[in-house]
């Protein structure tokens, strides 16, 4: 399994990157989490361990739980919006 980083921006956009090694992924997550437009970066090691970064620092367990809930809500809301948009486009397309 490869290392992976998800960067969660303040506007709800989630960007994911795959890395060949853990060191590059860890450095990327730390650096990206320092940006003012990024809420957090989630780094999954090749051994399937997850780390959350905020402001260039690894978060503690309590903050990690908070961020997990926030990110989960962001993803669910985004998927719901996309599903509604797709449904609206299908309905409009069938009316033509």
Its pTM surpasses 0.75: yes
Order the strands of the 57-58 sheet from edge to edge: 14-19, 3-9, 38-44, 50-54, 57-58
Cβ neighbours of residue 12 under 8 Å, at least 6 residues apart?
Answer: 74, 77, 78
> Which residue would you say has higher pLDDT here, 47 or 91?
47
Q: Residue 96 pLDDT more than 70?
A: no
Q: Residue 60 class from Cβ within 10 Å (0-12 exposed, 13-18 middle, 19+ buried)?
A: exposed
Token reading at 6: 């998800």
Q: Residue 59 pLDDT more than 70?
A: yes
């Amino acid at each position: 399994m490869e290392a992976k980083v998800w960067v969660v921006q303040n506007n709800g956009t989630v960007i994911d990157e795959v890395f060949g090694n853990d060191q590059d992924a860890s450095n990327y997550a730390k650096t990206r989490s320092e940006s003012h437009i990024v809420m957090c970066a989630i780094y999954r090691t090749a051994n399937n361990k997850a780390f959350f970064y905020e402001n260039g620092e690894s978060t503690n367990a309590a903050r990690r739980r908070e961020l997990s809930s926030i990110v989960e809500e962001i993803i669910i809301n985004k998927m719901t919006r996309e599903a509604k948009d797709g449904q609206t486009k299908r309905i409009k397309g069938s009316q033509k």
